[in-house]
Each structure stands twice: as C-alpha cells, then as structure tokens.
Amino acid sequence: MKNFDPATQVQYLAQFGEFGDVNPSITDSSTFTFLGAKTMVDTFEGVAEGCFLYSRHWNPSNKYLADALSTMEGTESAWVTASGMAAITCTMLQLCNAGDHIVSSMTTYGGTFAFLKNYLPKFNIEVTFVDPTNLEQIRKAIKPNTKLIYTESISNPLLQISDIPEMAKIANEHGIKLVVDNTFSPMILAPHKLGAHIVVYSMTKFINGKNDLVAGAICADSKFINDLVNVNSGTAMLLGPALDPLRSSGILKNLHTLHIRMKQHGHNAMYLANRFTELGIQVSYPGLKSHPGHELLNSMMNSQFSYGGIIAINMQTKERADSLMELMQAKGVGYLAVSLGYFKTLFSNSGSSTSSEVPAETQSEMGLSPGLVRFSVGLDNDIEHTYMLIKEALEELAYI
C-alpha cells in the first residue's frame, strides 16, 4: 500500500488524441456508427470490444477520464456520472433490491443522509446508521439481508476517520460490499488498495478543483461497472446520469494537477489548524496529533499528499458562526459558500447548510455543534496573510 503512488500512476498513463494531440480528443456525439450490423448487436449484448453505442452508455471522452480514475484508484474499471450524488445513488441501487438493508455511517454528506433516510424507504430498503469509528457497532448492525456498508473515508463535516481495512474485513466476513466516499481525500487515501470494493467521488470538489461543474465517479471491478451500464438492467444506464463529454475532458486535464493542489490545500490547512489551536479555538483537523483519528489516518495514508484541505472549528452557536463568516467574507478571506476543493477558501455553517437534511436531534447525537464552521482551505500563496485576516475578524467580534 505504501508503495502505491496515485499521482505517478496518472502521470504515466498514455492518453492522446486521434491526430496525435497531447490532449485526448473530445467526442461530442450522442450516437456512433457501425461498419456491420452484427457489431451493433454484439455491442448491445455487451460482447463487442472497443465499440461505442450511445453516450448514455459510454463515450470516448468519458472513457478517457474513467480510465485515468481507475488508474489513480488502482481499480479495474470506473464510470463517470453527472454528479456525486448520481455516483452514490446508482451504486446503492445497483447493489440493493426491495427488502435489502444497508449499514451506513451516521456522519455523511447531507444529501447522502437524505437519500438513505428519506428516499430509500420508498423502495423498502432499510438503513441502520452507525458511528463510523465504532467497529463493534458496525458488526452488530449487519443483518442477513445487509448488502453493503457505506462510509466516508474522512467524514463530512466532523472529519472522523474510517478504519477502511477493518471495515473491509467485516464486509468480507459477511460477503457484502464496502462502499467508500473518498471525496475529501483523493490521492491522500486509496480506499480500494485498503480493501474497499467500490470507491465513489464527487468530482465537483477537489478532483476538478474549479467549482465550474458538477460530476461524480464510481471506481470498482470490471464486473460491477459492466453490470452498472448493462443496457437491460444497469442502474446507471437506465437512470441515465451520464456526464457531458466536454466537462469530462476538462476534469481529465485538472486531474493531472491534483497532486500539486492537494499538497498546497493540506499545507495551508495545517498552518491554519496550528494557529487556531494556539488561539485556543476548538478545531478539528486530522493532521493534528490531538485529532482522535490522527494515528489511524497515518497508518493508511499516502503521506506525501498531506492531511487534506478541510478544517472544522466550533463557534458554539449558529449566530456566532454566521457573524464570523460574514466578516471573513467582507475582509476577503474567501467566500461564504457551500462545497469544497475550490482554489479560494470557502466556509459554511454545516448544520444549517450541507448537513441541514440531518434532523437536529441526529446532529446532536453525532456531535455536530450548531456553531461548527467548515473551512475548505484554498490555494492561498500567503496563508499567513489569510490567517491574520481571520484573526482580525475573531478579535473584532471578541471571540478571542
């Protein structure tokens, strides 16, 4: 595991256009021609090699990106989607039928929580929510009809660390799948190499890094991906969340700078985490030795890519959090906005934004403070200057 270098894997992937272009050509066709009728039939039946049928199924530009992602993750295959939620929902619906059961981390992105809690019951799919750091709780939650364990490698927004190797052992013992959302930690963690069966992403975030599109990805073995896009029964094929190939081409270019960006995000986040700690602010960041998952993350991570670009601080109340965020935006620290992985710093009050789908009592149960401010730390060249602006805001509000 420690010898796996996702950035180098991507770097040496030979992909070029049909005329020798250094960037793969963009294919903006929805449908593709066949030189023989039998080849079309074979393609519909999934037995033709190297043929494209319809862009809802596969598109050459999307295939370039999918191949790069599977190389980065160390999986046999991948498929790209029109959003991160499409990646998550298609994966779960492909694995589950009516009457099945899912064990999921309680601390997940709000949209994921809403899908699990509010939407899946329509199909008689039951979900048990667990503390992702409590392996015994996960074991006890598994039932005879459980089909998968779902977790985030680094949870949103509490930054809990999932023990992926141990979760994988539990999944394997019961013949079920471990699905890991690695959106917060691309390159930092390689969940498939740690034992996860399926890795999902919102590529909207760090992988693309520009906040100019919405996209997702599913990385898994070839059989799962082929089943996912089967023309007769594949969830992705039949629900149709295909990614625009023009967007796919842009993400592929940005993927080649991901390792550089992750290092800078992490460098800046570590600086802020240390300075916030000096100020006596309650801060959560897995790069700090005080973080309960610090040593676990050290045992799993590719250390050259840092501890990630996400920090959470506790301002105790929503009102205090709102005042701080408004003043930071006014001072030019960054933007009061949801999402993450952008080149500018973004901050939001998770309980009332990206986790607002989670009921207040559940937020309290998981330890989500109403005053939690989640920072997606940007690529600032002078992070000390950024810190001084934040400190000014804290002082003006008499928070320190």
DSSP of 51-80, one letter per residue? Answer: ---BTTT--HHHHHHHHHHHHHHT-SEEEE
The confidence score (pLDDT) of residue 355 equals 66
* Peptide bond just before 359 cis, omega within 30 deg: no
Return all residues near 127 (Cβ < 8 A) that are at least 6 apart: 101, 102, 103, 104, 116, 117, 120
Q: Mean pLDDT, to the nearest integer, of 242-253?
A: 97
| 129 SS3 class | strand
Q: What angle do CA 284, 285, 286 make, to 5 degrees?
A: 125
The confidence score (pLDDT) of residue 15 equals 87
pLDDT digits (tens, 9 = 90+) for 127-138: 999 999 999 999
What average pLDDT does the structure give for the chain? Answer: 95
pLDDT digits (tens, 9 = 90+) for 275-308: 999 999 999 999 999 999 999 999 999 989 999 9
How far apart CA 143 and CA 248 sit, in angstroms, is 39
The conformation of residue 161, written as its DSSP 8-state character, comes to B
For domain 258-396, give its CATH number from 3.20.20.140, 3.30.70.270, 3.40.50.2000, 3.90.1150.10.
3.90.1150.10
Q: How many CB atoms lie within 10 A of CB 298?
A: 14
Q: Mean pLDDT, to the nearest integer, of 347-370?
A: 79
The confidence score (pLDDT) of residue 354 equals 65
- 389 or 40: whose pLDDT is higher? 389
* Confidence grade of residue 2 (pLDDT, cut at 50, 70, 90): low
The confidence score (pLDDT) of residue 269 equals 98
The confidence score (pLDDT) of residue 16 equals 81
341: its two tokens: 């992985």
pLDDT digits (tens, 9 = 90+) for 371-381: 999 999 999 99
| Domain parsing of the chain, residue ranges | 6-255, 258-396
Fold topology of 6-255: Aspartate Aminotransferase; domain 2 (3.40.640)
Is the backbone of residue 33 left (phi > 0), alpha (psi -120 to 50) or beta?
Answer: beta
Predicted model pTM: 0.95
Give the position of tokens 């993400």. 251
* Confidence grade of residue 353 (pLDDT, cut at 50, 70, 90): low
Q: 120-130 burial, b if ≥16 CB within 10 A, otherwise e?
A: beeeebbbbbb
Give the relative orientation of helices 245-255 and 60-73 as an angle to the nearest 10 degrees. Answer: 30
Whether pLDDT at 84 is above 60? yes
Sheet-wide strand order for 335-336: 283-284, 310-314, 372-376, 346-349, 335-336
The confidence score (pLDDT) of residue 20 equals 86
Is the backbone of residue 367 left (phi > 0), alpha (psi -120 to 50) or beta?
Answer: left
The confidence score (pLDDT) of residue 44 equals 85
Is the backbone of residue 332 left (phi > 0), alpha (psi -120 to 50) or beta?
Answer: left
When mean pLDDT is compared over 19-33, 40-54, 345-359, the highest value belongs to 19-33
How far apart CA 132 and CA 152 sit, in angstroms, is 8
How far apart CA 24 and CA 61 sit, in angstroms, is 7
- 365 or 339: whose pLDDT is higher? 339
Q: What angle do CA 200, 194, 71 make, to 5 degrees?
A: 60
